[in-house]
Structure 1
Amino acid sequence: MKQILLVEDDLSLIGGLSFAVRKEGYEVDVARTSLEADALWADGKYDLVILDVSLPDGSGFDLCKKLRLTSKVPIMFLTAADEETDVIMGLDIGGDDYITKPFKLAIFLSRVNALLRRSSNFSRETPELNSNDIRIELIKGEVYKNNKLIDLTASEYKLLCLFMENPNIVLSPEQILNRLWDCNENYVDNNTLTVYIRRLRTKIEDDPGKPERIVTVRRMGYKWNTDRKGL
């Protein structure tokens, strides 16, 4: 059974979300502060973390950064702020999704299910992907550049896998979003995808300002380019 950690201090919201998540067949632990979340995280193993941005003793952003030091667990932000800078910050530090308060419970559950489903779908029989001096050990979920381990978030990892599984094939933004983020209801838009691409390039490209591995094909999309000289 999937285990979810809900970090939220609003009691009325906690009750409704916990009931809905359990009704879906998931187990849920609740923390109302960053301190409580740290204790639960240390004692348990979770398949999804849902973080309120504003907590009594800190920020969900800070907690996300701490979790990303040791884990690729999917993270969803709950936020009352829908400013683009807040959304981009959440994605940049390792968040996988966000939902703005107030929200409909059905949409919340749909996105929880999608995150858990995508996480489960990334178990593969192929043990390794290897091209452009990038190696992915799929069983371990580890990525190496020139044989040096690099740290990717769960979303960055999934995006890189998708590109490397489709070398030299132009993938449109819609194809990428539908494959990785279930974007049938525009939960994640092209601007958000641009953030993910930029963030991934900073970690795998020799010169992120002049990308050669993940290249942009004007008016079409992106492709994993294996035609680089010397690679």
Structure 2
Amino acid sequence: MYRIFIVEDDAVIASAVAGHLRSWGWDALCAENFENILAGFAAFDPQLVLMDISLPNYNGYHWCSQIRQVSRVPVIFISSAADNLNIVMAMNMGGDDFIAKPFDLDVLTAKIQAMLRRTYDFAGQSRLLEHRGAVLNLDDGTLNAGKSRIDLTRNEHRILQVLLENKGRIVSRDTLMLRLWESDSYVDDNTLTVNVTRLRKKLEENGLPDFITTKKGSGYLIGD
């Protein structure tokens, strides 16, 4: 079942589109927090995004460019601003198609089917983990925070992955060392401390202080 993320602030339009897409067997979710579309995107991890241009806080161009920093998922713009300038802008900002409002739901469905077929017949699906605007891509090992791409070692990537997979829960040092051993990296207690310290420094240098919390005698935590 493909997941489709609908970024549309008109509740009537968003609800109608979502209901229609669900009738085709797709899992459709409408964005609710327009202050942080990227967090909703990463949490839902969709295979396609429908993006309006005129949105509260930041426009669809902004959010498309943010998504493009962490994912190649197809983005179809839907907007009543269908002049040539906006269409060109949408494509330049990373959009894959443009549908003018008002649109026929059957035409929208056909466009989505074609886009999904072209994209996923030839490529795999990405897996993303997000917290406080930082997005970890499990497939290519990249970590993006805002406009920055943070270079991680294999151990740092694995530590961050485990902590994000258990967001809101304390992860013991023994659990982290076990996961690192599973990836053929021998890590003792001192080496783990060095890796976590180095990872924290990289996060702090990129605007993410206190991203990882130490729970003395228990382990580490990335909180909500």
TM tier, smaller: 0.5 to 0.7
CA displacement at 1:42 relative to structure 2? 2.7
Name the structure 1 match of 2:94.
94
Contact 1:8 1:55 in 2 (8 A): yes
Equivalent residue pairs, number: 126
> Whole-Å Cα distance in 2 between the matches of residues 116 and 75 of structure 1?
11
> Whole-Å Cα distance in 1 between the matches of residues 61 and 33 of structure 2?
13
Name the structure 2 match of 1:77.
77
CA displacement at 1:36 relative to structure 2? 4.7
Contact 2:21 2:28 in 1 (8 A): yes
> Whole-Å Cα distance in 1 between the matches of residues 7 and 83 of structure 2?
21
| Distance change in 2, residues 1:47/1:26 (3 Å) | same
Name the structure 1 match of 2:9.
9
Contact 2:6 2:28 in 1 (8 A): yes
Provide the secondary structure at the position in 2 that maps to 1:98: strand
The 4+ residue runs of structure 1 with deviation greater than 6 A are none
Contact 2:6 2:49 in 1 (8 A): yes
The gaps in structure 2 that reach 5 residues or longer are 125-138, 141-224
Deviations 1:17-48 (A, max 9, x none): 01110011110111145325222123231100
Name the structure 2 match of 1:64.
64
Report the AA paired with residue 111 of structure 1.
K
> Whole-Å Cα distance in 1 between the matches of residues 29 and 35 of structure 2?
14
Provide the secondary structure at the position in 2 that maps to 1:116: helix
Provide the secondary structure at the position in 2 that maps to 1:118: helix
Contact 1:7 1:30 in 2 (8 A): yes
Report the AA paired with residue 102 of structure 1.
P
Contact 2:47 2:73 in 1 (8 A): yes
Name the structure 2 match of 1:112.
112
CA displacement at 1:120 relative to structure 2? 1.4
Alignment of 1:1-231 (within 5 A): 1-123=1-123
What's the TM-score once normalised by structure 2's chain length? 0.53
Deviations 1:182-216 (A, max 9, x none): xxxxxxxxxxxxxxxxxxxxxxxxxxxxxxxxxxx
Higher Cα radius of gyration: 2
Identity %: 32
Contact 1:9 1:33 in 2 (8 A): no
The gaps in structure 1 that reach 5 residues or longer are 125-138, 141-231
Deviations 1:26-80 (A, max 9, x none): 1011114532522212323110011010011220000000010111000000111
Provide the secondary structure at the position in 2 that maps to 1:55: coil
> Whole-Å Cα distance in 2 between the matches of residues 11 and 90 of structure 1?
22
Deviations 1:150-201 (A, max 9, x none): xxxxxxxxxxxxxxxxxxxxxxxxxxxxxxxxxxxxxxxxxxxxxxxxxxxx
RMSD, aligned α-carbons: 1.8
Contact 1:32 1:55 in 2 (8 A): no
